Amino acid sequence: MVRRSIDVHAHIGKTVANNIGQTVEQMIRSMDAAGVTESLLSPAAADRQAEGIVNTRRMNDIVAEAVRDHPERFPAGLGLVEPRHEELAVTELLRLLDDLGLAGISVHPMLEGYYLDVPLRVDPLFEVLDDRRALCLMHCSPDPGSGESPRAVRVAASKFPNVTIFLGHAFLTPQQQSEAVQIVKDLPNVFFDVAYQSDPRMTESLVAAVGSERVVFGSDAPFYDLGKVLQSVLDANITDTEKDAILFRNVQKVLDTRAQLHRGSLIK
């Protein structure tokens, strides 16, 4: 029997620098092969920008269409905005949230040319996310000058507490992991995402550090084998209840809370 799972870190499109990418159809085939039941789709960072905002809108439309056409596989989708588009980025963020019905955005500042802790580019976008109680897949780097270091993550996450953040790649070095653990402990809106690794001991260490209720399953497909990441949770020396929390219950709770807020007209 296939165990239910929701992958919070699943990309479509292509990162131009390394030419790695996939279509929605390829993502579904990969999910089936790995035994992953559901995903929160998001566009790959640093995709084509030759046409600027037109390219960004096209990718957000593709994600929204996938969510509409395959709700049983994609319970929600995350869009993408380019802070370099300035006021047009805010306009596109409002469109993807309010018109397309996406749940939030994915950000990868190091590849997108900005810094999480620079208010000029970040605050106008995160103010909208905060108002909508939106989700954010946030990539993290151990490089202090990357724009997505743990210190920069903390600035954005603490300033906008209504944005639920899935923090990916936050354990690439012991120092980065230590700082990220403290962020998750301090800020209830931040969850550890287990993407981009295949070691059950990593899953165990995150659960030991912050508790299974603060860890979520992500793969970083197609940049990493989603089946291997899934296995790192399934093979971890933790209880079945903890595995289910990581694999889907924590994310489902976040999605259910947003749905209740929408029905109660507390967010637009």
Query: How does pLDDT run along the chain (268 residues), one tens digit per residue?
Result: 789 999 999 999 999 889 999 999 999 999 999 999 999 999 999 998 999 999 999 999 999 999 999 999 999 999 999 999 999 999 999 999 999 999 999 999 999 999 999 999 899 999 999 999 999 999 999 999 999 999 999 999 999 999 999 999 999 999 999 999 999 999 999 999 999 999 999 999 999 999 999 999 999 999 999 999 999 999 999 999 999 999 999 999 999 999 888 777 555 4
Taking every pair of Cα atoms in the chain, the longest distance, rounded to a whole number of angstroms, is 49
Contact 218, 38 (CB under 8 A): no
Give the helix ranges, DSSP H, for 35-173.
Answer: 53-69, 87-94, 109-112, 119-131, 150-159
Spell out where the chain has E strands: 6-15, 20-22, 38-43, 76-79, 104-107, 135-139, 164-168, 190-193, 215-216
SS3 143: coil
What CATH code would you report for 6-263?
A: 3.20.20.140
According to the model, what pLDDT value does residue 17 have?
Answer: 84
According to the model, what pLDDT value does residue 262 have?
Answer: 76
According to the model, what pLDDT value does residue 265 have?
Answer: 57
Q: What is this structure's pTM?
A: 0.96
